[in-house]
Structure 1
């Protein structure tokens, strides 16, 4: 077994639950193996919705439970399962949710992780229907090739605490800057877990990027993350840079209605609403680069889309970002450079827009979406070229030349 790390210091993400759940089935997370699924299969661990309880429902194996629950162990050892992350990257925190498992939750857990290439994982047989079953000797033999008992520990053996019956979360802060692709959940010795949330940020291998096609530099799967916002009453801005197409209005960023709206609304000469206020969200790009295309999707926001929006970009160091977080993003106006001017938006529609970057020719590290006056956006895509790729392309396409501020080139 590998050494168990000491307790880590607080990471930059003070509330890691606002990050993406990299193990969730909705981003491609998958259970590869579980020692036992007698009462309820391990696939329940990575459901995207919250666990629920059906008091009078039973299966042929016992009470129906919305989680992973193993039989009461009567042989040596403990139960464990392996999950392939849907988004590969840096893990900042973990939530072991034991809601509704009041009399049969696992007393202790530990969590290990590994960074494995596809060829090293090999072919793992599909699990199929698992309720009432335990892993076969053949399945143990296949999964043994991964040597998961030697993986690094993110969470050492820890006791789980039962909270409210319908909301019982156990949060663990992870102090690691490594990239992970798989996690192993160990329960000691047996029992039930409702959900396993693995919160973090994606990390892309930028050396494999195709320099001829623009890429979404803000994508959460690649490492983009929201680092500040004015309001998130109905949905967090991280939803906008999520994986795939939006699934519903809940899968987007939506603010409360601003109370400073004028009693009677009027347009200016350009057809934009004349209102005093706005809402905003700031994103750190997955990689510094030049934004050439902007996609703003208001799908599902039919009666509550913004009237208009604009997008600005800037360059910030890590220290400057931390200062801005403390100052609630009161950034000097000259720092921001326009990527998209004030643009009218339509409800329930995907807007494909050209960035002003082709004229400004600037690399940015952060982008700010401002919506006027309020409302909801389902997806934001900031497509362009990573800075290193742009450097290679300057001779090929002069239109993509850009300037880098003094002292920043060394950080690219």
Structure 2
């Protein structure tokens, strides 16, 4: 993740680096093809860790580099590779990281993208270990079936600039609302790139959703996103709606210690801390729906988990959300209704909780997690049913639910 943006700001523009890396190997990203992997294989591009440099390490092909590096080209053309995104959806921005490639980075690059259905993807052989070699004619023949040279351009040919040798990022904002499944990275004409980060939000095909099983309506993999928060000193709230299990405290949302906490702490009659303040984060769901189950995981937060939390939900139109963001979520909160009452939390534990939504019979578009007084949460899961599917659920499985949703809401901004 990049440096944390200023508190209370919406995740937009350069803050796209707080979204999920849709190409990362940790979410299932995969290199399908590369024209050349002579000095270092293209698989390094999608590693989740930051690139490193080992000054005295060499391979049989030359200097060891933690990235993708092609040979110095002596034939016509340029180098390129194709990446299958691990999370399919809307791309908000690109980070082309050329750290440690101070004298051999690719001087220019471009990004193309496509939205391919499974039947349009040929049977591409596994690449295996690739170093000291270029793509074979057989590999070119298979990848040519994708016609990747005609894919849409998300980033036109652009110059790469080397800054700090140890941390040299080139950021590109992507102005596209389309869903993408694959990207093609072109470098002109050759050289090295340490990491390629493809930041965005997932987009699920809700029509094919299984109405029998609840799904996580807030996960970033399907299009959920944090649209406001009070404090993100040690980790952005988008982390807690990330993919898979948390890997460490760095993979969660953690606030600073509140300075208004009392000198001596006391509990009330219910065992909850009596403190004046709280921290909060607001999320736009990937799809309006009914929340039936809530998971709040404090894994890895052993000495810094919150004392308690609550979850509220509401329906906001696109314009109402924009107004709330502009006023930093200080407008009247009469729309908020409880999904989870104030609940005591334990350190380093996954809490499985029932939502109050079924009793309230409400569809929501936004949810707010409030923690008291401060601390860290590793994952938030809001499981339930998209509104269009809820209406079709058999009566014998769930009680009849009455839903209404204001016009003007867009599932993905």
> Which TM-score band (shorter chain)?
over 0.9
More divergent stretch after superposition (151-160 vs 391-400): 391-400
* SS at 1:319 equivalent: helix
Q: Match of 1:56?
A: 56
C-alpha distance in 1 between matches for 2:411 and 2:166: 47
Offset at residue 403 of structure 1 (A) = 3.5
**TM-score between the two structures when normalised by the length of structure 1:** 0.95
Q: Match of 1:13?
A: 12
C-alpha distance in 2 between matches for 1:257 and 1:64: 43
Q: Match of 2:141?
A: 141
Whether 2:336 is the aligned partner of 1:336: answer yes
Whether the 8 Å CA contact 1:390–1:400 is kept in 2: the answer is: no
Shift >6 Å, 4+ stretches = 408-412
C-alpha distance in 2 between matches for 1:211 and 1:346: 33
C-alpha distance in 2 between matches for 1:411 and 1:109: 32
Q: Match of 1:5?
A: none
Q: Match of 2:355?
A: 355
> Counterparts in 2 of 1:86-125, with a 5 A limit?
86-125=86-125
C-alpha distance 276-95 of structure 1, shift in aligned 2 (>3 A):
same
Residue by residue over 1:325-346, the C-alpha shift from the partner in whole angstroms, topping out at 9 and shown as x without a partner, is 1211114121111000000001
* SS at 1:309 equivalent: strand
Q: Match of 1:209?
A: 209
Q: Match of 1:128?
A: 128
Offset at residue 123 of structure 1 (A) = 1.6
Offset at residue 250 of structure 1 (A) = 1.2
Q: Match of 2:5?
A: none
Offset at residue 12 of structure 1 (A) = 7.9
Whether the 8 Å CA contact 2:61–2:132 is kept in 1: the answer is: yes
C-alpha distance in 1 between matches for 2:56 and 2:88: 39
Structure 2: gaps spanning 5 or more residues:
1-9
Residue by residue over 1:47-79, the C-alpha shift from the partner in whole angstroms, topping out at 9 and shown as x without a partner, is 111111111111111111111000000000000
Q: Match of 1:315?
A: 315
C-alpha distance in 2 between matches for 1:25 and 1:124: 18
C-alpha distance in 2 between matches for 1:365 and 1:410: 10
C-alpha distance in 2 between matches for 1:123 and 1:139: 11
Residue by residue over 1:91-116, the C-alpha shift from the partner in whole angstroms, topping out at 9 and shown as x without a partner, is 01111111111101101101100011
C-alpha distance in 2 between matches for 1:12 and 1:130: 37
Whether the 8 Å CA contact 2:69–2:193 is kept in 1: the answer is: yes
* SS at 1:335 equivalent: coil
Q: How many correspondences in the alignment?
A: 402
Offset at residue 355 of structure 1 (A) = 0.3
C-alpha distance in 1 between matches for 2:17 and 2:353: 32
Offset at residue 295 of structure 1 (A) = 0.4
Q: Match of 1:237?
A: 237
C-alpha distance 79-409 of structure 1, shift in aligned 2 (>3 A):
closer
More divergent stretch after superposition (391-400 vs 138-147): 391-400
C-alpha distance in 2 between matches for 1:315 and 1:226: 15
Whether 2:218 is the aligned partner of 1:218: answer yes
C-alpha distance 408-357 of structure 1, shift in aligned 2 (>3 A):
farther
* SS at 1:240 equivalent: helix
* SS at 2:340 equivalent: strand
**TM-score between the two structures when normalised by the length of structure 2:** 0.94
C-alpha distance in 2 between matches for 1:177 and 1:355: 32
C-alpha distance in 2 between matches for 1:341 and 1:26: 34
The CA RMSD measured in Å over matched residues stands at 1.7
Structure 1: gaps spanning 5 or more residues:
1-10
C-alpha distance in 2 between matches for 1:194 and 1:144: 26
Q: Match of 1:388?
A: 388
